[in-house]
Structure 1
Amino acid sequence: MSFFFPVLIFIGVIVLISSFFVVKQQTAAIIERFGKFQSIRHSGLQLKIPVVDKVAGRLSLKIQQLDVLIETKTLDDVFVKLKVSVQYRVLSQKVYDAFYKLDYPHEQITSYVFDVVRAEVPKMKLDDVFVKKDDIALAVKSELNDAMLDYGFDIIKTLVTDIDPDPQVKAAMNRINASDREKTAAQYEGDAARILIVEKAKAEAESKRLQGQGIADQRREIARGLEESVLVLNKVGINSQEASALIVVTQHYDTLQSVGQSTNSNLILMPNSPQAGSNMLNEMLASFTASNQIGEAMKEAKAKKN
């Protein structure tokens, strides 16, 4: 008897210890009695009947994520791989359904995701797949919610996290984007060059206008100076013709002096005789007279026609 008493005490301690178990936070434990569902226990220290009751399983009530990789074809016959992330959780009031109605929830969710994506993406062109990825995610979520709610699973959110076309298609898309950017750059460069040409032309036109205005002002001042010179010479008894000859001769020699002082001037041959100024004046007067005669003749011919 002395031998069996310690053994009985030891077995009693083991049975007592096995009667208690701990359930972690955000976890549900399923208790079965002789293979039949007994109860659901939540977080904390729990008690069960040794040997009779057992913990059949535990389910996490946290939000979980399942990543599904699908390869499918678009409307324009481009093969593309999509990565769909499904965030889901077990409903605390439907732990029984989640544990007993579905053995492999991951496989079930994956099957529904494959079915929806391969039904939606072939209706879209490749560019539309990138633009409407949120629509694809919403379609997956709607289908999963309807299907998985009966099994005790709540679909929190679905996301299309990656769209990966065939490598050759990606290379072609990159070339297209590069060509578009080069075209845009060329257009901007052309616009900039055109603006520079227009602005340069405007600047040249303004320069010519100011230059012409300056020349006109210069000639106006020269004429005013000649007029004043003739008036001064008339006051000392020199008539207008003599005064004009004197002024022309004076300007002639001033020009020769200016050319002689310039070290960078090219070779210029000019008449240097005393009669040069007088001859130039006579030629100018003859030109003015001929011009006036031609003008008068044109006026008379026009008057006769009228």
Structure 2
Amino acid sequence: MDYFGYGVLVFALIILFSSFVTVKQGTIAVITIFGKYQRLLRPGLSLKIPLIEVIHSRISIQNRSVELSFQAVTQDQANVYFKAMLLYSVLNHDEETIKNVAFKFVDSNNLMQALIRTIEGSIRAYVATQKQANVLAQRNEIVEHVKHQIDQVLESWGYHLQDLQLNDITFDEEIMRSMSRVVASNNLKAAAENEGQALLITKTKGAEADGNAIKIAATAEREAAQLRGQGIALFREEVAKGMTNAAHEMQQANLDTSVILFTMWTEAIKQFAEYSEGNVIFLDGSTEGMNNTMKQMMAMQLNQKPAADKK
């Protein structure tokens, strides 16, 4: 009897402790009775019917990640190698969603295999429509295509694709070398074009500066010539006024005005002698020559008098 009592006590304790269930945070437990779905247990301490209710599975509602590595072929028959990181989670915490996750696949390995193959197939289908030269520049387009294609499929399984990152996209070694040569030649071409543009700009700016300098110099020269002309005109005007006043005074004093012409002629000869730079001027210094010169100057004076009288 004592052994029987101890056995009953132990059995009762086992039944008692099996009635308590602890569910970790971020996990939901699925309870079945004789293989049929019964209810869900949320995180924390819960009770279940001993020996009747069974924990079928514990569903993680946290984000999960998996790394992918696979190959695809482009439209122009180039092999492309992808390394990607997939981030997914349970769609929501609703009872129907958790039931779908718990009973859709036999186990998590089957789910993972189906998920990976679905994403690989979607990427391969997209890459097959693109040429090798366009694949590297279409990371975002590939990700958007995959999300659009498999979102509905994953939702039917009770999951949601959080993110897909294409960490590495490579080609066969020969293709990579040819792409490097193309990039290098394009860089050299761009550098040559930039240098040509810089040289053209420099030459253009230099030509513009020279043109502006020539314009400024021409304007300054024109203004200087105008000022010189105005100065010469003023000088001539003052000389004419002075000669007119001198001739008027000499006429009033009954003096010969031809002396003015003779004085100007001698002053001109003096200027030639002082400021000449080696030029030779031949002058007739004889009496006959002087008389001829005086006659010519007096004739010029007589020709100018009618014009002065008219004024």
Q: Same fold (TM over 0.5)?
A: yes
Specify which of 197, 204, 225 is matched with residue 235 of structure 2. Answer: 225
Task: Give the distance between the partners of 1:36 and 1:98, measured in 2 at CA.
Answer: 15
Distance across 1 between alignment mates of 2:42 and 2:65: 22
Q: Hey, what's the Cα distance between the residues in 2 that align with 1:82 and 1:244?
A: 106
Tell me how far apart the structure 1 counterparts of residues 198 and 215 of structure 2 sit (CA, whole Å). 25
Residue 308 of structure 2 corresponds to: none
* Deviation of the 1:134 alpha carbon: 3.7
Q: How does 1:104-253 map to 2 (within 5 A)?
A: 104-155=110-161, 157-162=162-167, 164-166=169-171, 167-168=176-177, 171-172=180-181, 174-176=183-185, 178-213=187-222, 214-229=224-239, 231-233=241-243, 235-236=245-246, 237=257, 238-239=259-260, 243=264, 246-247=267-268, 249-250=270-271, 253=274
C-alpha deviation, 1:193, in angstroms: 1.1
Match of 2:24?
24
CA distance in 1, matches of 2:265, 2:212: 40
Instruction: Quote how far apart the aligned CAs of 1:119 are.
Output: 1.1
The letter of the residue matching 2:225 is: I
Secondary structure, aligned partner of 1:68: strand
Tell me, yes or no, if the aligned pair for 1:30 and 1:57 is still in contact at 8 Å.
yes
Inter-partner Cα distance in structure 1 for 2:238 and 2:200: 55
* TM-score, with length taken from structure 1: 0.68
TM-score by length of 2: 0.67
Deviation at 1:109, TM superposition (A): 1.2
Aligned counterparts of 1:160 and 1:251: Cα–Cα separation in 2: 98
CA RMSD of aligned residues (A): 3.7
Tell me the number of residue pairs that the alignment of Structure 1 and Structure 2 aligns. 263
2:58 aligned residue: 58
- For residues 164 and 231 of structure 2, the distance between their equivalents in structure 1, rounded to whole angstroms, comes to 85
Note the alpha carbon deviations across 1:14-42, whole angstroms, 9 max, x for none: 43223211223442212344555544322
Unaligned runs of 5+ in 1: 257-268, 276-281, 283-306
Give, in angstroms, the shift of residue 147 of structure 1: 2.8
The answer as to whether partners of 2:85 and 2:167 remain within 8 angstroms in 1 is no
Q: Percent identity?
A: 19
Moved more, 204-213 or 224-233: 224-233
Q: Rg larger in 1 or in 2?
A: 2
Asked whether 1:95 is paired with 2:98, we answer yes
- Per the TM alignment, residue 105 of structure 1 is displaced from its structure 2 partner at its CA by 1.7
Unaligned runs of 5+ in 2: 247-256, 284-292, 294-311
